[in-house]
Amino acid sequence: MVSVVLGADHGGFVMKNELLSRLKERYEILDVGAYALDATDDYPDFACAVARAVASGKAERGILVCGSGVGASIVANKVPGIRACLCHDTYSAHQGVEHDDMNVLCLGARVIGLELACELTAAFLSARFSGDDQYRRRLNKVLAIERQERDWQKGRIKNPIQRARQQ
């Protein structure tokens, strides 16, 4: 059974709970909140919790819901190993997994309705990374950039952008 972590701030609270109730029969669910509707909560807390659960292997996929989906996407992508994308169409929801190995789906509850959110979630969770050569090559480049940035930030290498220009 595929494990899925869900999280949402107040803007996505109702949608997350509805998704959770629809998914719990077919997936192993980890709910990282919000557990109550609180207009003062902050999306970075839930986005980080979802991203860390996926990056650590506690869940295979993550779903984040906030008002627009934008903030959650920005935060989740700060966690190494996360490829979070905001999707409001089914093509992007499955293609992001098939071609780019997307592992976190971000949704905007103030942008799309519940039925579309369910369709996007189904497309995302049923898709698998194709592993075709061109997609594997591109994913490896993304992972290399992530490693270089981490090494640069820790002072292990010179600025990777300057290094690329010199080559």
State yes or no: is 88 an active-site residue.
no
Indicate which residue of 48, 85, 88, 99 is catalytic: 99
Annotate the chain with three-state secondary structure.
Answer: CCEEEEEECCCCHHHHHHHHHHHCCCCEEEECCCCCCCCCCCHHHHHHHHHHHHHHCCCCEEEEEECCCHHHHHHHCCCCCCCEEECCCHHHHHHHHHHHCCCEEEEECCCCCHHHHHHHHHHHHHCCCCCCHHHHHHHHHHHHHHHHHHHHHCCCCCCHHHHHHHC
- Asked if residue 123 and residue 55 are part of one domain, the reply reads yes
- Asked if residue 146 and residue 115 are part of one domain, the reply reads no
- Asked if residue 111 and residue 95 are part of one domain, the reply reads yes
How many domains is the chain built from? Answer: 2
pLDDT tens over the chain, length 167 residues = 899 999 999 999 999 999 999 999 999 999 999 999 999 999 999 999 999 999 999 999 999 999 999 999 999 999 999 999 999 999 999 999 999 999 999 999 999 999 999 999 999 999 999 999 999 999 999 999 899 888 888 888 777 666 555 55
- Asked if residue 11 and residue 57 are part of one domain, the reply reads yes
pTM over 0.75: yes
- Asked if residue 96 and residue 59 are part of one domain, the reply reads yes
- Asked if residue 76 and residue 142 are part of one domain, the reply reads no
- Asked if residue 29 and residue 85 are part of one domain, the reply reads yes
Domain extent, residue 167, equals 131-167
- Asked if residue 70 and residue 58 are part of one domain, the reply reads yes
- Asked if residue 8 and residue 32 are part of one domain, the reply reads yes
- Asked if residue 79 and residue 45 are part of one domain, the reply reads yes
State yes or no: is 99 an active-site residue.
yes
Indicate which residue of 48, 66, 85, 106 is catalytic: 66
- Asked if residue 26 and residue 47 are part of one domain, the reply reads yes
